[in-house]
Amino acid sequence: LARGLADRYRFVFICLDSLGRLAQQLQSEGFEVCCLERRPGVDLGCIFRLARLVRRYEVDLVHAHQYTPFFYAACARAWRGRPPILFTEHGRWFPDYPRRGRIVFNRLVLRGRDRVSAVGQAVREALVRNEGLPRHRIRVIYNGVDLERFAPRPERRLSVRQTLGLSETDFVIVQVARLDYLKDHMTAIRTMVRLVRQVPTAKLLLVGDGPKRALIRAEIQAQNLEGSVCLLGERQDVPELLWAADVALLTSLSEGIPVTLIEAMAAQLPVVATKVGGVPEVVLDGQTGLLASAGEDAALADCLSRLANQPELRRQYGLAGRQRAEALF
């Protein structure tokens, strides 16, 4: 948004907790980035620091991504009533349930000029059910990706595989997800334990980093899967990794509208995923991929085995997925 609108608006990025790689990239491009250094729990000092930044930069609109930034933005303007807030909800935590205190708070602080957007219908329903926000106040705006960047490049497939130490005959699965408990990589590993018995050439590439990296690595070793599961860490060449793969996998416990699945469909890959949150809004079961319940490694392994043994089905799902990405995302 900032890159596309920088000629019309001035953007300031405010991080609650810390500055990461993206903050450094934004700063190098000339954007202003601040950090509130939030402490655990409800940090009253964070509220006052945010209020000062809003005044210093003469902010006309706060775009709060996820509920916690919305909470702090609403508190920071409590005694002034401005600026208005655009609250965008990208996904939900697990387990997700109503909390009366938050419902009352949300109804009190949401002002007439505020706007609320959800990245999918499932996210919208969660905001209504668990946050008490009026349905008519929430607009669904789907996530989208640069379709051309992820367009399939079959001529690159073999060379990318060679750089990864993979052969043309390997059945390559890629999961792009932060190494976090919500993404449930343990189920992905249990799925691979079952799959390699049926498809010995199966290889799983785990792309991403996060707090569960050491635990995931230990489980891969404990299951003797070092030759079948590879932790690639954070990568800047995700399109190329997708071009090298046969299937995209996502084993999440909770999701909004997962961009990684949209990217996989844009790359003309069939998808195997858990039917949680907004995943069924992205992946049509039996048309662009196969869905199973969260945590069901046996069902996920069966889905992957089916696709491994039916290359024509993979091709059909991949083509349909690309068409769906072009139409909606």
DSSP assignment letter at 315: H
Average pLDDT, rounded, for the chain: 96
pLDDT score, position 94: 83
What are the structure tokens assigned to 36, written together? 């509130």
Q: Which amino acid is at 249?
A: L
- CB contact set of 272 (below 8 Å; sequence gap of 6+): 173, 247, 248, 249, 250, 289, 290, 291, 292, 300, 303, 304, 307
Q: Is the pLDDT of residue 93 over 90?
A: no
Span 159-218, pLDDT tens digits:
999 999 999 999 999 999 999 999 999 999 999 999 999 999 999 999 999 999 999 999
Among 284, 299, 288, 307, which residue's Cα sits nearest to residue 251? 299
pLDDT score, position 285: 98
The pTM for the full model equals: 0.88
What is the rounded distance in angstroms from the CA atom of residue 238 to the CA atom of residue 174?
A: 10
| Three-state SS annotation for 236-303 | CCHHHHHHHCCEEEECCCCCCCCHHHHHHHHCCCCEEEECCCCHHHHCCECCCEEEECCCCHHHHHHH
Indicate the burial class of 28 (C-beta count within 10 angstroms; 0-12, 13-18, 19 or more).
exposed
CB 27 within 8 A of CB 33: yes
CB 40 within 8 A of CB 17: no
Q: Is the pLDDT of residue 157 over 90?
A: yes
pLDDT score, position 6: 92
Q: Is the pLDDT of residue 79 over 80?
A: no
What are the structure tokens assigned to 197, written together? 């018995």
CB 127 within 8 A of CB 102: no
pLDDT above 90: percentage of residues in the chain: 95
DSSP reduced 3-state for 33:
strand
Span 233-291, pLDDT tens digits:
999 999 999 999 999 999 999 999 999 999 999 999 999 999 999 999 999 999 999 99
Indicate the burial class of 225 (C-beta count within 10 angstroms; 0-12, 13-18, 19 or more).
middle
Q: Which of 20-29, 194-203, 273-282, 304-313 has the lowest average pLDDT? A: 20-29
pLDDT score, position 292: 98
pLDDT above 70: percentage of residues in the chain: 100
Interior angle at CA 74, CA 69 and CA 80, nearest 5: 140
pLDDT score, position 86: 98
DSSP assignment letter at 285: B
